[in-house]
């Protein structure tokens, strides 16, 4: 790992390039978002411009195991 890769357990390594172009795009995007946040139309409509919070959705993805069935609790109707 040379500091320019993001490693994930289930994904192939992705290269991250911190070039001048990338940094310029970041600055332009930040300026656009700040301009929208102060735009009178967005303020009157109460438009929320913020990154999405995925923590609530990720909480739903946690696995909850079901109770194990025991022999005294049959799965289906007995014939």
Distance of CA 17 to the CA centre of its chain: 21
CB 14 within 8 A of CB 6: yes
SS3 letters across the chain:
CCCCEECCCCCCCEECCCCHHHHHHHHHHHHHHHHHHCCHHHHHCCCCCCCCCCHHHHHHCCCCCCCCCCCCCCCCCCC
pLDDT in tens, the chain (79 residues): 455 555 556 666 666 666 788 888 888 988 988 888 788 887 777 777 677 677 776 665 565 555 655 556 556 665 5
């Amino acid at each position: 790992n040379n500091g320019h890769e993001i490693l994930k357990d289930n994904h192939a390594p992705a290269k991250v390039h911190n070039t001048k172009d990338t940094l310029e795009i970041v600055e332009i995007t930040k300026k656009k978002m700040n301009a929208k946040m102060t735009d009178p139309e967005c303020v009157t409509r109460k438009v929320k411009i913020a990154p999405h919070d995925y923590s609530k959705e990720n909480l739903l993805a946690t696995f909850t195991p079901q109770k194990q069935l025991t022999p005294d609790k049959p799965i289906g109707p007995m014939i």
